[in-house]
Each structure stands twice: as C-alpha cells, then as structure tokens.
Homo-oligomer: A and B are copies of this chain.
C-alpha cells in the first residue's frame, strides 16, 4: 500500500476524490494507496455517497480538515469496505490515544468528550474499495447542529506530523492485515 502525504499544498475535498483511480489519475499512484492531504470539506450533492445523508439532505462540510483517501484493489465488496473503514477508524483512535486523547468510536465516527471529530464514508467502485476519512483541524464551518471538535482544541498543533503519523499507522495496519491473511491454512 503506497502512502502519499501531500505537504506542499492544500486540496479542498468536494467528494470527487471518492471515485476510482483518483490517486493514480492525480498522483500516479498505482494499486493500493493512501493519500493524506489537508483542505476544506464541502461535499457536492452529486458526490454524496451515503444515501441516508441524501435522504435527510445533510450537509457535509468543515473549513479545515485532514483527509485520508484510501483505495484497495484486492477485491471489491461493500461489506469488506465497511469493515476496513471501521478498522482504520479504530486505528486512528489508537494513535490519538498515543497523543493522550481519549476517544469514543461509534462505528465510523470519532468523538471526544461527546463532540464529533471526524466524518467518513466507505463504498465500492466497480474496480476497488474506496474510503474517505476527514478529521477536523478546527471545528469551524461544520453543519449547524453538529457539536464538533478539532485537532487544535485537542492540543495537536503540528498537523503535518499528525498526518504523517496517522498515515503510516493506517498503512502498517493494512500491511499487517494482508500479511496475516496469507499465512493461514484454510479449514474444513
């Protein structure tokens, strides 16, 4: 799984990065990849993936987020996508714990003191599993009614270091998952 941390510029997330081969088209990353970048979030209606959001006409936005775009080509299945997403979210909570931050994970949402730190979606394209995770840098520009929190409020000010540490953690987790899947015999 290739890891790319985009450090030199901001990329605003409008939802289109959830499409297949985004990492290859934009960065030449072939195969499984994680791209971590920073920018605002404002998902266009036509790019919304969660049909519940569409039905409720939810807004998905935030002024400043760390974004993770994951694409896995090993095989294509929505239940696998959803499982992988929850595992990566759990991993992020574990890294936050190393920062001394106590989180609560509810499925694919991360809360700190009852406040929402993250958004996430997992789905499939016809060729890949695609996952987006966004973590608030600051709790600004979020939809009305959402009680949000960001990394700064939690004392994480070196955002680039956070991007790198979490990026590496997710890649290591996936590599471990894959390695383990290869060293077991099947059972009757």
Chain A residues packing against B (C-beta within 8 Å) = 18-21, 24-25, 28, 30-31, 49-52, 54-55, 73-75, 77-87, 90-91, 93-94, 105, 107-108, 121-127, 130, 173, 176-188
Closest to A85 in B: B180
Number of copies: 6
A11–B81 Cα distance when bound, in Å, is 34
The answer to whether B83 and A80 touch across the interface, beta carbons within 8 angstroms, is: yes
A126–B127 Cα distance when bound, in Å, is 9
Q: Are A177 and B79 CB-contacts (below 8 A) given A31-B182, A184-B50?
A: yes
Across the interface, A125 reaches (CB within 8 A) one of B28, B84, B182, B186, namely B186
The answer to whether B90 and A94 touch across the interface, beta carbons within 8 angstroms, is: yes
